[in-house]
Structure 1
Amino acid sequence: MNIAIIEDEILTQEDLAEMIGRAGKEIHIVAVLGSVRAAIEFFRQQRAVDLVFSDIQLGDGLSFEVFRSTPVTAPIVFCTAYDEYALDAIRSNGIEYILKPYTQEAITSAIEKYRRLKEHFIPRQPDFEMLIRAVTGDKTLQKPAGSILVYHRDKILPVSLEEIALFYVDNECTHLHGFNGANYLVNQALDELEQLSGNLFFRINRQYLVNRRAIKDANHYQHRKYVVNLSIHFKEVLVVSKNRTMGFLQWLTL
């Protein structure tokens, strides 16, 4: 496995290279690039690598300039002290976002993620776009169902997905909240609804599955979390869980 490092601090370069090397005997550090300029020159020479570990804020600019300027097709693990670049990381082939100071466990976990994804996806689709979709939760290949059956008094009613703002779990029961303010009980688990709804909805945490049309915007909340502001009235505050943030931001850009 050939890996390139983009990092401008010498001590961090050494620490990162050492941690990466501990993750497997087959790993080779083929380049350590200390600036945006050096990285652009490296990739413009069509140097092939399997994986890139990259800092974001470098002495001569942001590393995103590298990936906008050159055809880097390898997936990228971003290692940074800042958490506000998650969306840009996704747009730049990012498969992991590690905050400094990082640990051996975090570095090894990122490499293991790459190995698993390569093993499962590359033989069927030799394209990192598919790999990135798997990491970020992109569901564009899924065809959504047309309607959901709900229970209201003594009736069973079909409700179009387009009319549903969100699904949520309350007291171990699944409900839907419509754009018209109506609430109904649904006899399906949130996991099943997530599969049926395609890319029209996104599972922001274990409790909520939200329609894209119901989202007005999102605010940075805490450490790698976001609060979702809805275009409709809803009594609860919706927070995107940390492990779903990258997928959520990617989904918003579709």
Structure 2
Amino acid sequence: MKILIIEDEEAAARRLQKMLLRIAPQSEVLQVLESIEGTLNWLAAHPSPDLILMDIHLADGASFELFRLGRVEAPVIFITAYDQYALQAFRVHAIDYLLKPVKEAELSEALQRYEHQQKKAAPDWAALLESVQGSSPGKRFLIRIGQQLKVVDLEDGAYFYTENKSTFMMSKEGKRYPLELSLDKLEETLDPRRYFRANRQVIFAMEAIAEMYAVSKSRVKVALGPEPTFEVVVSTERSPGFKKWLTGEA
């Protein structure tokens, strides 16, 4: 199995090569490339590899440009940070995606998946590009919890909140799911007739409201169900809009 590595972080590239030696000693790393330009030149001068391990963010831009130019013919395992739109698309169209820092067990599973899919049709890169670029967030998210993959419908969310710079969804059943999307992006996606942004930390659904209390003339405390571990207070600047939202005037 001849593999091309496209990775602009030298340490990450070395790690990948060491892991490949351990889990796939029969494989051959043809080259390690760190840019779109270098990759284009290499692909133009060499036969297509069997497999490409590709980082998304390269030294001179996003690797999607390689697909736009139609130069990628080999199956690809993507390497990426947490990018919500990319993760959904890659799971459908690519062999797999690996989250940095890459774990040896996950790389091994990805290589096994590559072996199993050799008889299947080639990925639809045009569909991949269309799904990743220029699209708005979907109503469903593919999330990863350890080795488990789960599809979560945003409409099942009682409320969404941030904690330690991470975003979470609390379902109506009281289950918490990590989301790879900011509250700002979620606010653009959610139905404004049903969900309200109380402050910088939380967005909640109308039906999640259990009780409300006047904290001051301009602030309202909201009790939610399932009960959160934090206090929810509609900020002063959002209170007028909150009252209109409650009565359907917003």
Query: Which structure's CA Rg is the greater one?
Result: 2
**Structure possessing the higher relative contact order (Cα contacts under 8 Å, 6 or more residues apart):** 1
Please give the TM-score of this superposition, normalised by the length of structure 2.
0.49
Please give the TM-score of this superposition, normalised by the length of structure 1.
0.48
